[in-house]
Structure 1
């Protein structure tokens, strides 16, 4: 996964991502007049102006563009992920990237939330501050909410729900490796995960996340030798420049030799 700044030749790519997403997803939530309004709003002229101002970014997977976001001051705008690529954490990665980018100069972030995306933003700690409606040309109404999030609250900055991680580094007494996949979930301050692969037949994690996004959890798994292993872990997050998370972990086995170790896992 790579997030880079868009340049002039990316105009058609950004248009295609934007229009395909609107035309596929929005008719399930809005009448035709509102859908047409969205298309007209994201015109060549508006997108080009944002590219020229250095506000537009593209998310690429294997050098293929699958998502885009525009950052205008403290506002997250024009955030779209191709419909067939949704549900894989790419939208979350763009939000993480945008929040981290904005946090360098502001303690809050705002956005206009369309109906399809409102639930996602609520889960990430955004609050409604205004509601608006626009009368479109054929008499249909477009409804949206202005939402805001306070970035000086670390607990709001990270959300692990739907994120996937793989180990990057592990000490010799550890049992997970770069073939082990961790799938994380979060509800408020409770975090849990499943992991499998490499030497692990099946494993589970359950714990809590602090106001600074730090994880403290217990883990248990069965390895290919048929052993049941149990341990505890303290995991500190870092947001990388590409918007992905890296977790630096200190852990200890609670059975067997009770040894300690450290690892780093990275978001896919």
Structure 2
């Protein structure tokens, strides 16, 4: 099982559809006793929150976000936690909007390897 997500900052490896999470979005994760939550922002997302649970390497959470255009949206996501060869964490996600039509998959990865300092601007 991959280590704790607590204190990690992750970012998508590719942009989603316009107006959604993208490569400029940053997720600040927290984890304690099987609970996971995160705050996120960047790109078209002004503010977002997710909350859910972790069982082994499986996350199950709901998310809600406020976009630049003033609209809100929410959905459900199930992610698999993967440890990369360099020690960073990757989340392989399957998500579905609950407030609007649409679903898909995405990948977010830890920005720096354990023990490294983030680059300027991260």
Q: TM-score, normalised by structure 2?
A: 0.85
- More contact order relative to length (CA 8 Å, sep ≥ 6): 2
Q: Name the SS of the counterpart of 1:175 in structure 2.
A: coil
1:133-144 pair list within 5 angstroms: none
Q: Distance in 1 between matches of 2:18 and 2:60?
A: 20
Q: For this pair of structures, how many residues does the alignment match?
A: 111
Structure 1, residues 94-140: CA drift from partner, whole Å, max 9, x if none?
Answer: xxxxxxxxxxxxxxxxxxxxxxxxxxxxxxxxxxxxxxxxxxxxxxx
Contact 1:245 1:266 in 2 (8 A): yes
Residue in 1 aligned with 2:30? Answer: 185
Tell me, yes or no, if structure 1 residue 206 matches structure 2 residue 51.
Answer: yes
Contact 2:39 2:50 in 1 (8 A): yes
**242 and 182 in structure 1: CA distance in 2 versus 1, 3 angstrom threshold:** same
Q: Distance in 1 between matches of 2:109 and 2:72?
A: 25
- Relative to its length, the structure with more helix (as a share) is 1
Give ranges in structure 2 of 5+ residues lacking alignment: 112-122
Q: TM-score, normalised by structure 1?
A: 0.40
Work out which of the residue numbers 72, 80, 84 in structure 2 matches 1:236.
80
Work out which of the residue numbers 145, 163, 167 in structure 1 matches 2:12.
167
Q: Name the SS of the counterpart of 1:219 in structure 2.
A: strand
Give ranges in structure 1 of 5+ residues lacking alignment: 1-153
RMSD: 1.4
**234 and 159 in structure 1: CA distance in 2 versus 1, 3 angstrom threshold:** same
Contact 1:158 1:213 in 2 (8 A): no
Q: Distance in 2 between matches of 1:174 and 1:216?
A: 23
Residue in 2 aligned with 1:107? Answer: none
Contact 2:92 2:106 in 1 (8 A): yes
Deviating 4+ runs (over 4 angstroms): none
1:1-268 pair list within 5 angstroms: 154=1, 157-172=2-17, 175-210=20-55, 212-257=56-101, 259-268=102-111
